[in-house]
Amino acid sequence: MSVAPGVEDLLRELAPQVLGALLRRYDAFDACEDAVQESLLAAALQWPAEGTPDNPRGWLVTVASRKLVDQVRSEQARRNREHRMALATPQAELFSRAADAEPEADRDDSLALLFLCCHPALSAPSRIALTLRAVGGLTTAQVAAAFLVPESTMAQRISRAKQTVKTSGTPLRMPEAADRAERLGEVLHVLYLIFNEGYTTTDGADLTAPALSAEAIRLARLLHRLLPEDTETAGLLALMLLTDARRPARIGPDSELVPLAEQDRGRWDHRLVAEGIELISQTLPRGQLGPYQLQAAIAAVHAEAGHVDATDWPQILALYELLERLAPNPMVTLNRAVAVAMVHGPAAGLDLLATLEPVKHMAHHHRLLATRAHLLELLGRYAAAAADYREAARHTTSAPERRHLTSRAARLASATPGSAGGTTSHRRPTSHR
């Protein structure tokens, strides 16, 4: 079903607020989440045709509450469930006023909901999946794509996670300081994934989902306000700001993807750049380094270069080497290979990429294939580069990325060393983000 972008953005913004309102009243996570989804579907069907109500949040809470009441009363164990949920509002009252028309109606429980979804009784993958679904507004298919698992598998995981949260009886409120510190790492990782899904969508026709990234930034700002002394929270927010600043230059006039090295930096959001650089500059000297701070520092080095040729690649390489020691993973190594190629040449970058090929899920990962194709292109090995670009295009689920990679392959298909071939303007490794 296609939903108007304005309505879709509003529903994504309101979804966690509506779920929080229902949880405060009914305290049944799984049933409330199901009811919220039904209310969102009803809004997606009605609002484009009938207009957005004056109080869209109240409309959603009212409809979700009715759905929840209907759901409870239709169960065979109706009496037991009604007693357990202790429904505080008669159904008749739901028709007389908005279900969230109470003193705390404007309260936003998104952060409390974020910590609830990162409940210690859940496994790390389940915490992330549930939060992406309940707070981030991603579909089950999008969450499944992020985890590289079938949609049916992810649906079962999310269902089990909701049941676990319900069974735990944990109320919707911010955890105490000790518990909060333990769960903060998962919360930050969830926000990171939500932002990344918005910055480069895993599937569909659009390259980005700005509302999703905006929601991740909003939650990161709230979390930073709550924990102003936590350096990794500040680092993550700075990373989001510096990365999102590039968004206006990432899409060309024909909706094509524009890689970092080819972007018109005059189109970057310099307000976000300045805010991100100031934040990470204030944060780095204050505490123990963490992965998000290092990634933000790398983004800041890119942002401080007025032109791609002015980029301080030795500094970026040093930061990636530190990041890889602190938080090793294949994607960090892949990005370090780009920096190695800039500092020591494409052949050195290819040698480092080769170490990733035996790693599970990496040999055919589109980012590894695209990076290898670009380094081969720099070495003048156009046929091999074109083949890797085509292979990368086959393995990406993003339509804009697929078009970009296919275009690169087509340009190189008939190129020979020394020919025009369209390659002379791309004499540098580059992230395709």
Instruction: Of 104, 314, 287, 266, give the one whose Cα is nearest residue 322.
Output: 314
Structure tokens at 285: 């000297």
pLDDT of 423 higher than 50:
no
- Residue 288: band (very low, low, confident or very high) from pLDDT cuts 50, 70, 90: confident
pLDDT of 420 higher than 50:
no
Give the range among 56-70, 377-391, 419-433 with minimum mean pLDDT.
419-433
Give the range among 96-110, 162-176, 383-397, 400-414 with minimum mean pLDDT.
96-110
Q: Which residues contact 424 (CB under 8 A, 6 or more apart)?
A: none
CA distances from 126 to 142, 155, 228 (A): 14, 11, 27
Q: State the Cα–Cα distance between residues 242 and 404, nearest whole angstrom.
A: 23
| Average of per-residue pLDDT across 269-280 | 97
HEC string for the chain: CCCCHHHHHHHHHHHHHHHHHHHHHHCCHHHHHHHHHHHHHHHHHHHHHHCCCCCHHHHHHHHHHHHHHHHHHHCCCHHHHHHHHCCCCCHHHHCCCCCCCCCCCCCCCHHHHHHHHCCCCCCHHHHHHHHHHHCCCCCHHHHHHHHCCCHHHHHHHHHHHHHHHHHHCCCCCCCCHHHHHHHHHHHHHHHHHHHHHHHCCCCCCCCCCHHHHHHHHHHHHHHHHHCCCCHHHHHHHHHHHHHHCCHHHCECCCCCECCHHHCCHHHCCHHHHHHHHHHHHHHCCCCCCCHHHHHHHHHHHHHHCCCHHHCCHHHHHHHHHHHHHHCCCHHHHHHHHHHHHHHHCHHHHHHHHHCCCCCCCCCCCHHHHHHHHHHHHHCCCHHHHHHHHHHHHHHCCCHHHHHHHHHHHHHHHCCCCCCCCCCCCCCCCCCCC
Structure tokens at 302: 């890119």
CA distances from 75 to 69, 70, 72, 79, 80 (A): 10, 9, 6, 9, 10
Q: What is the per-residue pLDDT across 293-304, written as a single tens digit (0 to 9) for each?
A: 999 999 999 999
| Average of per-residue pLDDT across 176-181 | 78
Assess contact for 131 and 118: CB atoms under 8 A: yes
Q: State the Cα–Cα distance between residues 256 and 156, nearest whole angstrom.
A: 36
- Residue 307: band (very low, low, confident or very high) from pLDDT cuts 50, 70, 90: very high
More reliable by pLDDT, 428 or 270: 270
For the chain, what's the residue count? 433
Percent over 90 (pLDDT), the chain? 48
Q: What is the pLDDT of residue 346?
A: 97
Q: State the Cα–Cα distance between residues 367 and 392, nearest whole angstrom.
A: 7
Give the range among 104-113, 217-226, 352-361, 366-375 with minimum mean pLDDT.
104-113
Assess contact for 270 and 245: CB atoms under 8 A: yes
Q: What is the pLDDT of residue 173?
A: 83
| Average of per-residue pLDDT across 382-392 | 96
pLDDT of 349 higher than 80:
yes
Q: What is the pLDDT of residue 221?
A: 93
Q: Give domain limits for the chain.
A: 1-99, 312-417
More reliable by pLDDT, 148 or 369: 369
| Average of per-residue pLDDT across 71-99 | 55
Looking at 3.40.50.300, 1.25.40.10, 2.60.120.10, 2.40.50.140, the CATH number of the domain 312-417 comes to: 1.25.40.10
Q: What is the pLDDT of residue 432?
A: 47
pLDDT of 244 higher than 90:
yes
Rg of the Cα atoms in the chain = 24
Q: What is the pLDDT of residue 283?
A: 96
Q: Specify burial of residue 399 (Cβ count, 10 A radius: 0-12, 13-18, 19+).
A: middle
Q: What is the per-residue pLDDT across 141-169, written as a single tens digit (0 to 9) for each?
A: 877 776 657 889 999 999 999 989 888 88
Most confident of 213-222, 251-260, 369-378: 369-378
Q: What is the per-residue pLDDT across 12-59, written as a single tens digit (0 to 9) for each?
A: 788 888 998 998 888 788 888 889 988 988 998 999 989 999 999 999
Q: State the Cα–Cα distance between residues 408 and 309, nearest whole angstrom.
A: 21
Give the range among 10-14, 105-109, 180-184, 214-218 with minimum mean pLDDT.
105-109
More reliable by pLDDT, 426 or 376: 376
More reliable by pLDDT, 278 or 201: 278
In sequence order, what are the beta bridge partners of 251?
257
pLDDT of 107 higher than 70:
no
Number of neighbours of residue 289 by Cβ within 10 angstroms:
16
| Average of per-residue pLDDT across 235-258 | 93
